[in-house]
Amino acid sequence: MADREKSALYPGATWSDCLDFIQKISSFNLKAVSYQEIAKKYGLSSTTTKSFTAKIGAAKQFGLISTSQGTIQLTDASKRLLFPTGEPIREIELQCFSQPPLYANLIKKFDGSAIPQIELLSNILMSEYRITRGAKDSAAKCFLESANQLGLIHGGVLFFSDAQNVSSSAEALPEESLQSDGQSSKQESPVTISTPLISEADYITQTIPCAEGKIARISIPINATDDDLYLIHDMLEIIMKRRFKISIDQYSK
């Protein structure tokens, strides 16, 4: 009998699946939990069920769990996500998402560019990344769904580096920021940026071609209030000054 073709490593469950998985592990309030006990949380009698082993494999690749002798432990990254202490959650999410070797390669290949549709992406995974014919569709589906769950795909373009830059800029924001009237004011609480799953029909989007084939993209909710627009303006002004050493307003004078 011929040996079955072995696939290169890939996450077989989505980011949301893995978050639910670590939440179930955390609910035991134990240092380590057996495979059997966690499987019971999913109503499974076997720990070899494909959907269950896929969650274990994906969570390990994201750096969310470690395993030892039939038990699972949460990693430091999981604990920081489940029990935040003020550290930017977004930064942890992006670090975890880029940990699987396949995802690191796909980010490098498509960051700032259009992501192929699932049919084409699955073929790319098979031809360029040694994902088997039987696994390629699932691997492509999990990547696209996970990236969408983290709000990294807009208009079919992968914006991983932009998400990292926004996270870094938000972390570095000063205590004082400009209000719409140009006056300084103290922020009562740290600025946090959350990127939910986006329905594009709810946004007005402007795509701007930039150097080296990169794309700048601005999405504003269609129901944004005047206060929202002033805040967006002020946040862009702060980011432009801190990251690029220029002022938006200098071009409008």
Residue ranges per domain, the chain? 162-251
Confidence of residue 153 (pLDDT cuts 50, 70, 90): very high
Q: What would the mean pLDDT of 157-185 be, rounded to a whole number?
A: 64
Q: Is the pLDDT of residue 152 over 80?
A: yes
Whole-structure pTM value: 0.68
The predicted pLDDT at position 196 comes to 46
- The region of weakest confidence among 29-38, 43-52, 202-211 is 202-211
Confidence bin at 248 (pLDDT 50/70/90): low
- Whole-number pLDDT of residue 243: 67
